[in-house]
Structure 1
Amino acid sequence: MMPYGFAGGAYGSGMMLFGWLISLLVIIALGLSIAALWKYLTKK
């Protein structure tokens, strides 16, 4: 049986990495949408 701290730490770090990747993707998507909107507005 694994120690609880080790299992919890591994699970926590995995979830933290997952959340970090999701936030990074959200930031990239926001940046791209803002850039596209800015180009569209300045083109008019």
Structure 2
Amino acid sequence: MMTHCLALMGNMSWLGWLMPLTVLALLGLGIAALLKYLFTSSKPMTGAQS
């Protein structure tokens, strides 16, 4: 399976290498943004501080 995938990527020239790397980068950025949102979300303020 891996050799078939690499052969297909080789036949597509630079686009075959760019697209998987782009998808992995976007996936990593999405996970990082989700983790940042989950761990740094501010607590709701009440009273005179809001």
Shorter chain as denominator, the TM-score bin is 0.5 to 0.7
Q: Which runs of 5+ in 1 are unaligned?
A: 1-7
**Partner Cα separation in structure 2 for residue 15 and residue 33 of structure 1:** 28
Report percent identity of matched pairs: 18
Figure out how many residues of one structure are paired with residues of the other and give that number: 34
Please tell me the root mean square deviation across aligned C-alpha atoms, in Å: 1.8
Runs of 4+, deviation exceeding 2 Å: none
TM (norm. structure 2) is 0.56
Gap regions ≥5 residues in structure 2: 1-9, 44-50
Q: Who is 1:5 aligned against? A: none
Instruction: Give the counterpart letter for 1:10 in structure 2.
Output: M
What is the TM-score normalised by the length of structure 1? 0.63
Residue from 22, 25, 43 that aligns with 2:24: 22
